[in-house]
């Protein structure tokens, strides 16, 4: 039997027992001031590499989870059957990448009205929440994602959303009007008479919201 | 904007168009798309991987031919698909006609807008798919199923110091001490005092004098009020005795007092 | 990085994720028929020996749990400082000056009833203890202070408590409102006007009968 480092054992036990991810400070509060938590965590990370369980850091918090490559063994069939509709997936993506965003803005991107159930499903899943109102005429409610959303998808922050930096750089998160102005600004010199302030919107579907 | 007009249609392999071309079918399912933009995006994606390179004109023609087929087979085609078809037919003719600088916005801008919208919808569709493909906690990845849980046991350290202890005792004692009630004397001038005072002052006053001049100087308001009332009564008493004369021009005017000649002296 | 046995990894992840202890059959249902579960479990048991968590067999079921010697880490004590209530301070003072004293006597001195919680708080704090019963009708319990009480207040013996005369000299016998003013303006002692009669003795009757 190998003699294990008491500090590593203590941090290991604490993280295993915790029912939520913990910051180094939170761990320290349990294991005591004289434990080098950072050192213990890095040793643990190494020791668990390649095992069925791994130590994961997300943002500032640490937790143990099952190894991703074992998903096929553990995947819960029942969860899968409640698959999100395409509308719900797109709506979730729009909220996550554009938040805070109003219903009308979601509809402008998708080109169709969103049914009431779509947002309800996302809120019921705990991934989306109303996040105040936008101070424009009509004061529309805006939506944003939750901490549970980040946790569920294994994200530390919204910056970790897949491809968000590229989308931002490509201007694909800007509204059409803004993108159009940018393009016209570049090409206006050559083509001369492009109309400014293109306020003509495509009338697609019923954008009554 | 990739408005090249001479791309070969037949090279484009589109599942939706296959459906449209299948004249054996009596209905074409447009419910498979979430609105015209979705259908347009599906058509656009069959052109090129990069939406920035798509041909809008080609896309418009694909959409119109799809709708044309669909209409022939399914009369109750949703209104928004037809609205889009009409708008795209207009866009197509505008793009094909010689350029008219008076048309505002230009057909090129309208086409660009459509392209930008498709790019944005496509970006979100792909992001949604990437999001869903992640290893998700509770589906692919699991946290410990049976955590013991961490508990914080709160103990209370009661905060009280020695001074608070003995002063508390002092206050109990003070509470229990017998209390003597002393009624404070109110500052008043009795009628007798006023009579005495006013009589003494009358000798020095020869002309008509206001009643207030007889009041003690610098008295507190309460005493002054009392003195005023007492002095007034004293004046009335002295007038009755014939020692002073009183005069008042109207109601509430100053009350003037004068010693009667040869009366009190 | 060590190459870990896939069977062991699978069993490890399955047990980790399960929300209840599992039998070998239940584990097998997840990891598949071609895994030697018994062998994997015995390897796991060995690998986790001496770590912060351990694999435990209870009857026919297996589960992970925090190592028994680390259980104390999972219960963190946190001390919170709280102000003792006025009723409690007064009650403590009365017990200190008059001990042993019954509840009824305390109430007679305070002039108000004391709630059960007040004495409990003082006993929980370790400053007051029950000190037998008074041999009068009803045999009421009497209370006294403890050694911790003396320690906390820096007293060698109860005789160090200032007498009534000392309290008076310090202005501590002022009526409450005056004393409060005094604390604010530090003028109670000079202000003179103290009511006489500081020498009134307490009449402690046995009202418990």
- Residues 6 or more apart from B48 whose CB is under 8 A from it? B54
Residue A113 is predicted with a pLDDT of: 87
Of the two residues A183 and C34, the one the predictor is more confident about is C34
- Distance CA(A131)–CA(A95), nearest Å, equals 11
Residues of A in contact with B129 (CB under 8 A): 89
Residue B262 is predicted with a pLDDT of: 63
- Strand duo C75-83 + B151-159: pairing: parallel
Residue A200 is predicted with a pLDDT of: 38
- Distance CA(A22)–CA(A4), nearest Å, equals 22
Judge if ipTM > 0.85: no
Residues of B in contact with A96 (CB under 8 A): 127, 131
Q: Do C64 and A16 touch (CB under 8 A)?
A: yes
Measured in residues, chain A has a length of: 209
Q: Is B233 exposed, middle or buried (0-12, 13-18, 19+ CB in 10 A)?
A: middle
- Residues 6 or more apart from B181 whose CB is under 8 A from it? none
Are the CB atoms for A11 and C70 separated by under 8 Å? no
Q: Do A1 and C51 touch (CB under 8 A)?
A: no
Q: Do B153 and C76 touch (CB under 8 A)?
A: yes
Place of tokens 């039997």: A1
Residues of C in contact with A8 (CB under 8 A): 52
Residue C25 is predicted with a pLDDT of: 93
Indicate the average pLDDT of chain C: 80
What pLDDT, in 10s, does the model give residues C138-171?
Answer: 899 999 999 989 888 888 888 888 887 787 777 7
Provide the percentage of residues in chain A whose pLDDT is more than 90.
50
Of the two residues C201 and C12, the one the predictor is more confident about is C12
Of the two residues B199 and C196, the one the predictor is more confident about is B199
Provide the percentage of residues in chain C whose pLDDT is more than 70.
81
C101: helix, strand or coil: strand
Q: What angle, 0 to 180 degrees and rounded to 10, lies between the N-to-C axes of helices B79-96 and B36-45?
A: 50
Residue A14 is predicted with a pLDDT of: 93
Residue A82 is predicted with a pLDDT of: 62
pLDDT range class, residue C68, cuts 50, 70, 90: confident
Q: Do A10 and C73 touch (CB under 8 A)?
A: yes
- Distance CA(B146)–CA(C16), nearest Å, equals 8
Angle at the Cα of C162 from the Cα atoms of C160 and C165, rounded to 5 degrees: 145
Provide the percentage of residues in chain A whose pLDDT is more than 70.
84
Of the candidates C121, C188, C156, C170, the one whose C-alpha atom is nearest the C-alpha of residue B163 is C170
What pLDDT, in 10s, does the model give residues A145-204?
Answer: 998 899 889 888 899 999 999 999 988 998 888 888 877 765 544 444 434 443 334 434
Q: Do B156 and C80 touch (CB under 8 A)?
A: yes
Choice among B134-143, B172-181, C95-104, C125-134 with the minimum mean pLDDT: B172-181
What pLDDT, in 10s, does the model give residues A12-42?
Answer: 999 999 988 999 999 998 898 899 999 999 9
Q: Is A167 exposed, middle or buried (0-12, 13-18, 19+ CB in 10 A)?
A: buried
Of C19, C65, C75, the CB nearest to B145: C19
Tokens describing residue A2? 């190998």
A197 contacts chain B (CB < 8 A): no
Q: Which chains touch C (3 or more CB pairs under 8 A)?
A: A, B
Residue A140 is predicted with a pLDDT of: 93
What is the separation of C-alpha C158 from the centre of its chain, rounded to a whole number of angstroms? 25
The whole-number average pLDDT for the span A118-138 is 91
C128: helix, strand or coil: strand
Choice among A67-71, A73-77, B200-204, C101-105 with the minimum mean pLDDT: A73-77
Are the CB atoms for B70 and B38 separated by under 8 Å? no
Write out residues in chain B with pLDDT < 50, as ranges.
1-27, 264-265
Binding-face residues of A in 169-188 toward B, CB within 8 A: 170, 172-173, 176, 179-180, 183-184
H helix runs in C32-129, sequence order: 37-47, 86-98, 103-110, 116-124
């Amino acid at each position: 039997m190998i003699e294990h480092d008491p500090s590593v054992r203590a941090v290991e036990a604490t993280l295993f027992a915790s029912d939520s991810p913990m910051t180094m400070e939170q761990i320290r509060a349990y294991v005591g001031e004289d434990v080098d938590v950072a050192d213990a965590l890095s040793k643990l990370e190494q020791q668990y590499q390649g095992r069925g369980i791994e130590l994961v850091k997300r943002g500032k918090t640490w937790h143990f989870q099952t190894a991703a490559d074992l998903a096929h063994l553990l995947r819960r069939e029942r969860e899968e059957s409640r698959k999100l509709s395409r509308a719900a997936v797109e709506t979730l993506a729009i909220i996550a990448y554009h938040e805070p965003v109003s219903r009308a803005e979601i509809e402008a991107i998708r080109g169709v009205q969103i049914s009431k159930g779509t947002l309800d499903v996302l809120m019921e899943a705990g991934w989306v929440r109303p996040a105040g109102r936008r101070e424009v005429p009509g004061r529309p409610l805006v939506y944003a994602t939750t901490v549970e959303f980040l946790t569920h998808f294994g994200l530390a922050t919204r910056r970790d959303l897949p491809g968000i930096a590229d989308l931002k750089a490509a201007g694909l998160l800007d509204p059409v009007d803004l993108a159009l102005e940018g393009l016209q600004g570049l090409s206006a010199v050559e083509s001369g008479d492009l109309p400014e302030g293109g306020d003509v919107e495509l009338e697609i579907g019923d954008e009554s919201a | 904007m990739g408005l090249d007009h001479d791309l070969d249609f037949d090279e484009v392999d589109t599942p939706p168009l296959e459906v449209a071309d299948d004249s054996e079918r009596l209905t074409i399912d447009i419910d498979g798309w979430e609105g015209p933009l979705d259908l347009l995006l599906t058509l656009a994606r069959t052109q090129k991987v990069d939406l920035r390179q798509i041909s809008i004109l080609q896309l418009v023609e694909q959409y119109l031919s799809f709708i044309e087929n669909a209409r022939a087979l399914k009369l109750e085609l949703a209104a928004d698909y037809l609205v889009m078809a009409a708008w795209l037919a207009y866009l197509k003719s505008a793009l094909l006609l010689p350029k008219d600088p008076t048309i505002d916005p230009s057909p090129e801008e309208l086409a660009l807008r459509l392209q930008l919208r498709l790019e944005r919808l496509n970006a979100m569709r792909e992001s949604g798919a990437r999001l869903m493909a992640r290893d998700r906690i509770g589906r692919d990845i699991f946290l410990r199923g049976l955590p013991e849980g961490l508990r914080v046991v709160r103990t209370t350290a009661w905060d009280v110091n020695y001074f608070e202890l003995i002063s508390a005792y002092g206050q109990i004692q003070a509470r229990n001490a017998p209390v003597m009630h002393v009624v404070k004397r109110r500052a008043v001038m009795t009628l007798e005092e006023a009579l005495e005072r006013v009589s003494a002052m009358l000798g020095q006053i020869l002309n008509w004098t206001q009643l207030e001049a007889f009041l003690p100087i610098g008295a507190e308001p309460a005493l002054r009020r009392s003195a005023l009332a007492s002095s007034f009564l004293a004046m009335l008493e002295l007038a009755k005795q014939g020692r002073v004369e009183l005069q008042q021009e109207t109601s509430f005017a100053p009350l003037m007092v004068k010693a009667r000649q040869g009366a009190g002296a």
